A = this chain, B = another copy of it.
């Protein structure tokens, strides 16, 4: 592979001069510039970013840690991140945590060893181990999705959206409302959204039957199982169910269809996420749009601000959301 030295020799100048042409900095005569450019053209020389960053201490690479690669949310967020970063000449180094905290920590170390300029963490949990790993990291980091203490974070408005969605359901006249959630180690999705639901119910003086609240993982299957349990274990069957993700909602709908329970007449359904599916299932699913691309963009901007030092450390931002009421709720 051809190096700057080869170019220097070919153009009969010093590497210094070549470097100056490359970065157009300092003085360089037209004659020298032309010779260098010709040499580059001729050899197809591509400067090594690698060597450059060793010297300059900037890699122009941002690490992005995802809980899982192949999810609609993740790819939307990455899309947004890329949109902002690529414009500023940054590239994205992908790191997959595969839903394991251990992996998450490992990836942090790995990204640090690669000397990325910054890290964006799509956070799903706040385990002590992870917080510690983040604390003794030497790379600027921002989190998306969970409020990580001491770290600039962007969060979705899980509480208000869950509460508002529940209230919307209530406003349609439902009094018995089921809830399909996830494990509470996920602070944002597991805990906060549930709290939104509970508080909305409480505010309207509605009591919740224990069997109405079911938990699952993040897959469609879990939604199916949860709905089954709700229906079989409740004394008073709910007339509506709020699932904390669209996938869970879809799963619930699957079960209802199987049992010939009419949506929304016998059971109304709502989810969160505005997944593409939500628009095409029938009936169309009522959901909340978190605008993930936008969140990704904001996160990237926050990180860039951090890198440029032009922002106070430790900013927190809560993203906006949008209720989308469709046929699955009436």
Chain A residues with CB under 8 Å of chain B are: 1, 44, 46-51, 53-54, 59, 61, 69-72, 74-76, 78-79, 82, 86, 91-96, 109-110, 112-115, 136, 138, 250, 254, 276-277, 280-282, 293
Query: Cβ of A71 and Cβ of B82 under 8 Å apart?
Result: no
Q: In chain B, what residue has the closest Cβ to A71?
A: B75
Query: Cβ of B93 and Cβ of A46 under 8 Å apart?
Result: no
Q: How far is the CB of A168 from chain B (nearest CB, A)?
A: 23
Query: Cβ of B96 and Cβ of A94 under 8 Å apart?
Result: no
The count of identical subunits is: 2
- Other A-B contacts than A46-B113, A61-B93, A70-B79, 7 sampled, CB-CB below 8 A, are A50-B114, A61-B114, A69-B78, A69-B79, A70-B75, A91-B114, A250-B280
Contact of A277 among B91, B95, B112, B276 (CB under 8 A): B276
Query: Cβ of B113 and Cβ of A49 under 8 Å apart?
Result: yes
Report B-chain residues with C-beta under 8 Å of the C-beta of A91: 93-95, 110, 114
Report B-chain residues with C-beta under 8 Å of the C-beta of A114: 49-50, 61, 91
Report B-chain residues with C-beta under 8 Å of the C-beta of A92: 93-94
Q: In chain B, what residue has the closest Cβ to A80?
A: B70
Contact of A82 among B51, B96, B109 (CB under 8 A): B96
